[in-house]
Structure 1
């Protein structure tokens, strides 16, 4: 069993494994963000999949919740919309409950039929024809970014590449003022941060103040788009669609945050994770350099291996027995994608990073069913083009220190990743 391959170091891996194996299952709290910041959550999920794949945590910083940890069980929850709700009014899609007066609707945190009506508004952004047009832009900006890296010197890959390229893409998608594009990064981070965790803000009030700034900024852009002929950016699409043009302020901000986080955090952390994964698996890096055509399978494999969003949450609409456990109406049910993507019963050698897997798209990183990520193809396109451009230029991107990870059990990401490109 290679269940510790992702852990930061041998001693840390051993300690985490010993603690996970000695702790009573009733005391497991796999939603603790500290486990993700230290990358020590893996043995806890390994044990849950083996011994109690549907697990109840009675007490945590997020309150009580159920954990669903196996691939096929997660799929069953994802597709049972009659019983398991995404609605923001019931708590939304993350393990963390938001106070009722602060809840924001977005189409990912809506049930049918409203979900599909709003989702369809932005779907044209991700059609093959539009992606072909975006590909030209992605390649140009990727080349410019990579050509300006400080070759020979240590630098932070997260800031100079992952954040910069995904933020540029977001600015293009929204037709957002270029000089202010890093505001998008800030708002994405603020939307998912846990106040008081030593991170970006100390209180929920500070967090909401910055998100209000986001809403006000976009409201100004919205007024411009409403009074212009329809264009192909996301904001114009929403401004001119019957399903979204009359959104209330909370629904407006909810959809903005969804699109910003979806377009930023997932691709950004997978791009960072790709460098980390290749450094941890130098045989796969050699394989990729020797055969760049493997990028087509490398991209979905790194999306699985990284799993940039660790979970999604649902709320039970009624009492239900699920895999022998009694889930009650109103219970919080957390689907751990990060665990399902390591399920040995579905994925062969799941802890291994294998860039030429025969079925690399067997993973849960984008969700499943009606709530499956609308930007899947764009995320894969960005990663594919960026790595095509990297391989044209650089023999090796060497990790020269440990990454600093995000304090979150929702966003599975990196704050920093020190690297060097040999001169």
Structure 2
């Protein structure tokens, strides 16, 4: 068979597959793929994904530099991440380890080197994934953050209107009213989990608004986000392949219903809203996305995770930072005008998403190291935000830090976080509403840290609130 005939045949096959996918309900496709993968594992005897069992990690100076491995999902929980990354920044800022659980990786740990990689999408591709590992076979969801221009640009353009300045201005009063409602419901003088009662609740409400998702079902969005961000094979988390398939099938069914309901309403003459589903439906580049299941699900998973993890863990991280640096809370109460700069400092200090991945598209050099085409590079934002070459006294939390806004938690270049202004708005409003209500937010015990090399997050932060004095009279 001639090559041109073979290409034509594959093209017809691809179109036939897309036609089938467009007709079979998405959740059934995922369930079918799940059954196929389980059967395949049974026949081959291959494990579904790696399993990570926690053990005490060695001190940063206890192993040769070439063997230092910052990819462990327990690095943050065990409090070793700062010393690991400091040693890498000082001794091997472009560092190769060929024996991590996620394969061979280059760790990029200095601020300037990370910026170089992040801004150069021609040498360093975001495809096919932006996390260190890979999802279970059959759940390799396509998302625009893991695409290169021009495809990335078209899909991002379709949804970025949801966080336009005008839309943010219109959302501010809603965000404030919901923040007040949550804060006013908190118990005074009684211990509670800040993560559950405040951070998760506020981000769930915001996600439901952004997606025009049924408000009473908003916590399903958090569940799906946690599933997508904490896959064992992708980030060293605790979510198994079976759990991921189940959650994604559930998510697919819910969003397929929402998509078709909105499509019917728009077809009947209802003006489209500025929620993410409406924007995807009305853009020429994404209005047929429902016919590409992995792309449809992938972009929704991206938007949910992006709207959840950064804000949620910064809401918890800010409280913990003020606990560790009580003089900064006193400084804030004395001068609330520092809130906007403090928000940037919280996001720098916390770095809610620790890394992003790139792949070298050609043989190249970085930091004096030769990098081969196809090599995986990990941009460690958590390290860049603590780089002493950029931030003086970088490990400290300083709410009036002059260059706090130069943090790299939102990335750089074409892949810079689309929702950065929304995250800042939510955090600003939260602290504007905290200050007049509470004199202290007492952290009662060391927080519980999630198992992940991607999300720098909290599962539990027990606190006790003291009301502002003016409310006790």
1:292 aligns with 2:336: yes
Q: What residue is the counterpart of 1:242 in the other structure?
A: 284
1:377-421 Cα offsets, whole Å, 9 max, x none, are: 000000000110010111111100110001001011001100000
1:365 aligns with 2:405: no
Deviates more, 1:241-250 or 1:161-170: 241-250
Q: Distance in 2 between matches of 1:212 and 1:27?
A: 40
CA contact (8 A) 1:397 1:421 kept: yes
Is the alpha carbon distance of 1:360 and 1:242 closer, same or farther for their aligned partners in structure 2, counting shifts above 3 Å?
A: same
Q: Distance in 1 between matches of 2:342 and 2:118?
A: 26
Deviates more, 1:318-327 or 1:370-379: 318-327
Is the alpha carbon distance of 1:155 and 1:125 closer, same or farther for their aligned partners in structure 2, counting shifts above 3 Å?
A: same
Q: What residue is the counterpart of 2:258 in the other structure?
A: 221
Q: What residue is the counterpart of 1:182 in the other structure?
A: 219
1:167 aligns with 2:204: yes
1:145 aligns with 2:182: yes
Q: Distance in 1 between matches of 2:237 and 2:122?
A: 38
Q: CA deviation at 1:39?
A: 2.5
Q: What residue is the counterpart of 2:123 in the other structure?
A: 83
1:316 aligns with 2:360: yes
Q: CA deviation at 1:358?
A: 1.6
Q: CA deviation at 1:99?
A: 4.8
CA contact (8 A) 2:236 2:453 kept: no
Q: Please give the secondary structure, in 2, of the residue aligned with 1:392.
A: coil
Q: Distance in 1 between matches of 2:385 and 2:334?
A: 27
Q: CA deviation at 1:101?
A: 3.4
Is the alpha carbon distance of 1:53 and 1:200 closer, same or farther for their aligned partners in structure 2, counting shifts above 3 Å?
A: closer
Q: Please give the secondary structure, in 2, of the residue aligned with 1:30.
A: coil
Q: Distance in 1 between matches of 2:255 and 2:79?
A: 36
Q: TM-score normalized by structure 2?
A: 0.83
CA contact (8 A) 1:195 1:207 kept: no
Q: What residue is the counterpart of 1:231 in the other structure?
A: 273
Q: Please give the secondary structure, in 1, of the residue aligned with 2:404.
A: coil
Corresponding residue to 2:81 among 25, 38, 41: 41
Root mean square deviation of aligned Cα: 1.6
Q: Distance in 1 between matches of 2:238 and 2:149?
A: 35
Q: What residue is the counterpart of 2:41 in the other structure?
A: none
1:31 aligns with 2:77: no
Q: What residue is the counterpart of 1:275 in the other structure?
A: 319
Q: Please give the secondary structure, in 2, of the residue aligned with 1:102.
A: coil
Q: CA deviation at 1:194?
A: 3.2
Q: TM-score normalized by structure 1?
A: 0.93
Q: Distance in 2 between matches of 1:320 and 1:26?
A: 21
Is the alpha carbon distance of 1:63 and 1:215 closer, same or farther for their aligned partners in structure 2, counting shifts above 3 Å?
A: same
Q: Please give the secondary structure, in 2, of the residue aligned with 1:312.
A: strand
Is the alpha carbon distance of 1:355 and 1:316 closer, same or farther for their aligned partners in structure 2, counting shifts above 3 Å?
A: same
Q: List runs of 5+ in structure 1 lacking aligned partners.
A: 1-14
Equivalent residues, number: 404
Q: How does 1:19-418 map to 2 (within 5 A)?
A: 19-88=59-128, 92-99=129-136, 101-195=138-232, 201=239, 203-229=240-266, 230-247=272-289, 248-418=292-462
1:267-320 Cα offsets, whole Å, 9 max, x none, are: 000000000000000000100011111101100000000000000000111111
Q: Please give the secondary structure, in 1, of the residue aligned with 2:408.
A: coil
Q: What residue is the counterpart of 2:13 in the other structure?
A: none
Q: List runs of 5+ in structure 2 lacking aligned partners.
A: 1-55, 267-271, 468-473
Q: Distance in 1 between matches of 2:403 and 2:92?
A: 27
Q: Distance in 1 between matches of 2:174 and 2:161?
A: 17
Q: Distance in 1 between matches of 2:137 and 2:222?
A: 26
Q: Distance in 2 between matches of 1:287 and 1:221?
A: 46
Q: Distance in 2 between matches of 1:403 and 1:19?
A: 21
CA contact (8 A) 1:226 1:240 kept: no
1:32-87 Cα offsets, whole Å, 9 max, x none, are: 11112222211010000000000011111111111000000001001111111111
Q: CA deviation at 1:100?
A: 5.4
CA contact (8 A) 1:121 1:238 kept: yes
Deviates more, 1:231-240 or 1:190-199: 190-199
Q: Please give the secondary structure, in 2, of the residue aligned with 1:396.
A: strand
Q: Distance in 2 between matches of 1:200 and 1:260?
A: 19
Q: What residue is the counterpart of 2:23 in the other structure?
A: none
1:64-118 Cα offsets, whole Å, 9 max, x none, are: 1110000000010011111111112xxx101112355321111101011010101
